[in-house]
A and B are shown apart, each in its own frame.
Chain A
């Protein structure tokens, strides 16, 4: 393979890498918002559950989760025999813990007076969260979510270990077949940078601009 062919071969794996990252991000987003809400409501068991979840999954390597689910749970629950599903799921549940923390601090900085104002017009606590607090928290969370997407794109590389055919796997295939280390690894590294850097930078800038515009 010529170098160009090798790079094209690497690029062909990009959609799978992006699919894993995006799906696990969305899964983590839903989970993160849910966990953050559980922390706000005045129910001790919910708060405790959310707190423990966050502490646990922020301390465990995503690779350990992935391997445990694939090799440990897969034989019993067939869906975890699917490497693509298992990697999205693993990245998602770990990301949920990170995103919960991002939302928690964003919700915290929206401030108590906004909640009071929302309550004062007769909104229920849930509607106040839904229509007043969460939309503002989303803006505040955007820069943090940008870093989280970047992290997920990088961490999606772990899924090659359980057999997902994504960018890292293609890199490994080249290493083995072309007997060359420099070109595949450097090219693949550059592709990762190109995927992560613009997203994180754009969302960081956009979020900061919105924050300033709205006076959040």
Chain B
């Protein structure tokens, strides 16, 4: 199957710490995959490498079959086609919700002011934030900010969207509005790779779940597989801990 985004033997080392150790995964069009595992298991680093925000120490990343680093692709152009949602939404604080989304449409894609406005507004509607279009990030709740963060990523019409624990910093009540938006995106066929601890979300929408620990992939399988009978002891323990 043709993968949109793929990494082979990806390793990322910070000083002496091996954050990601020889990981190979890929995601095909329309798929939703969930990466999960304990904190510090390398999920975020892996996603940042896949989002071309960090350069791997070794290994390759393929975007639509093209080796990104070996063929010296223009990273800025590729990043525009890979959406990224941060744990801390990282909205641009000097811009309104609408302004946050319009920035990339205008200055990366090159849309006119009015085209960018229309498209940004459309994206806000998808995440049900159109009533908050003219509010600044500081005036929004964490959940609302994260929905704008998602809108900012999807407005660019990326081929794949990477989510780096989008609900980890949110209170329980606020998580659900974000998860609802993500489910909606998955149902629309958005290609998504999601690092999350929300296993119920994974159960409902994931085509595949990837369990990571200490920088390595421990086990890959369907949600059903993980929820009924994971092979490894580590996955079993982790599932039990999360599901309480």
> Which residues of A are at the interface with B, using a C-beta cutoff of 8 A?
113-114, 116-124, 127, 131-132, 135-136, 139, 213-216
- B90 lies within 8 A of A122 (CB): no
Collect the chain B residues with CB atoms within 8 Å of residue A215's CB.
Answer: 93, 136-138
Collect the chain A residues with CB atoms within 8 Å of residue B103's CB.
Answer: 121, 123, 131-132
Q: Give the interface segment out of B26-34, B78-86, B124-132.
A: B78-86
26 sample A-B contacts, Cβ–Cβ < 8 Å, listed by A number:
A114-B92, A116-B53, A117-B91, A117-B92, A119-B53, A119-B76, A120-B53, A120-B79, A121-B84, A122-B76, A122-B79, A122-B80, A122-B104, A122-B108, A123-B76, A123-B104, A123-B107, A127-B107, A132-B92, A136-B94, A213-B136, A214-B94, A214-B138, A215-B136, A215-B137, A215-B138
* Size category of the binding interface on chain B: 20 to 34
Complex alpha-carbon distance, A118 and B100, angstroms: 10
Complex alpha-carbon distance, A122 and B159, angstroms: 13
Question: Quick one: given A214-B138, A215-B137, are A121 and B90 in contact (CB under 8 Å)?
Answer: no
User: In the complex, given contacts A114-B93, A122-B80, what are 12 additional A-B residue pairs having Cβ atoms less than 8 angstroms apart?
Assistant: A113-B90, A116-B53, A117-B92, A119-B79, A120-B51, A120-B86, A121-B156, A122-B79, A122-B81, A122-B156, A123-B103, A127-B108
Find the A residue at minimum CB distance from B106: A131
Collect the chain B residues with CB atoms within 8 Å of residue A214's CB.
Answer: 93-94, 136-138
Asked if B153 is at the interface (CB within 8 A of a chain A CB), the reply is yes
- B107 lies within 8 A of A114 (CB): no
- B138 lies within 8 A of A121 (CB): no
> Which residues of B are at the interface with A, using a C-beta cutoff of 8 A?
51, 53, 76-81, 84, 86, 88, 90-94, 103-104, 107-108, 136-138, 152-153, 156
Distance from B151 Cβ to chain A, minimum over Cβ atoms (Å): 12
Complex alpha-carbon distance, A113 and B84, angstroms: 12
Question: Quick one: given A122-B108, A123-B107, A215-B138, are A114 and B156 in contact (CB under 8 Å)?
Answer: no
Distance from B83 Cβ to chain A, minimum over Cβ atoms (Å): 8
Collect the chain B residues with CB atoms within 8 Å of residue A124's CB.
Answer: 76
- A117 lies within 8 A of B76 (CB): no
- A213 lies within 8 A of B94 (CB): no
- A117 lies within 8 A of B90 (CB): yes
Distance from A56 Cβ to chain B, minimum over Cβ atoms (Å): 33
Collect the chain A residues with CB atoms within 8 Å of residue B138's CB.
Answer: 213-215
Complex alpha-carbon distance, A121 and B157, angstroms: 11
Complex alpha-carbon distance, A127 and B156, angstroms: 17
